[in-house]
Structure 1
Amino acid sequence: MSIGNDRLVEKVIQDENVHYIHMVFNQDEGLPEHFSNSTVYMTVLRGTLSIGLDEQKINKYYAGTVLKIPFNTKMNVKNLDAEVLELIVVKAPAPQN
């Protein structure tokens, strides 16, 4: 896994069982709004995750938080804060598409 503060979406493990993804986002960076294609386990390693799920307002989660996001949930993943956001995302079971 890479170490640093530059924007990163790094697919560390991607096989038929699990997808293990390392992400780093600076302020005002994130992912395009999308629907989860598996059950997603998201761990905040550092910084503050700002995430909106389905039609909920954006909530903030801090380092040490683990979220479980069900399959087919609309996700809006952002870093709205000055501190670098670092995440581990595990998709299990691995998406079929």
Structure 2
Amino acid sequence: MIEKVYAYSTEDMTAVERIIGGPAVRINHLSLGHGESVDPHPTAEAAHMIITRGVLGLTLDSQEEHQYAEGAIVGIPANTKLGIRNAGEGTMHLFVIKSA
């Protein structure tokens, strides 16, 4: 088998999973229950968030929150302070991809 298969949680529960942690690319999976959030924090690297279920509430630097529904891919520049929250009714799932 040439390919490698990676698994991630599809459960309706809060989770942060490092799927791939290599030097060229890092992929994390994040799921947040209704009303849950991640405290604002800086990101030193550019990132892309792919929303696969629910609605992401995203605050970048001093901007007001913007909301993105499943199917959206949001590019975030390096050195940005970001806050993440579940802005929908059910569990929100997203992938965060960072590359070198």
Q: What is the TM-score normalised by the length of structure 1?
A: 0.91
- Percent identity for Structure 1 against Structure 2: 28
CA distance in 2, matches of 1:86, 1:38: 21
Count residues in correspondence.
Answer: 93
Corresponding residue of 1:47: 54
1:29 to 30, 33, 36: 36
Larger strand percent: 2
Alignment-derived partner of residue 75 in structure 1: 82
- Residue matched to 2:23: 16
Residues 45 and 79 of structure 2 are in contact (CA less than 8 Å); yes or no, is this contact kept in structure 1? yes
The two structures, once aligned, show a CA RMSD in angstroms of 0.9
CA–CA separation in structure 2 for the residues paired with 1:51 and 1:43: 12
Residue ranges of structure 2 left out of the alignment (5+ in a row): 1-7
Residue 67 of structure 2 is aligned with which of 57, 60, 63?
60
Moved over 6 A (4+): none
TM-score of the superposition, structure 2-length normalised?
0.88
Query: Deviations along 1:27-48, whole A, 9 cap, x unmatched?
Result: 1212121011211000000100
Q: Which amino acid is the alignment partner of residue 33 of structure 2? A: N
Structure 1: gaps (5+ residues): none
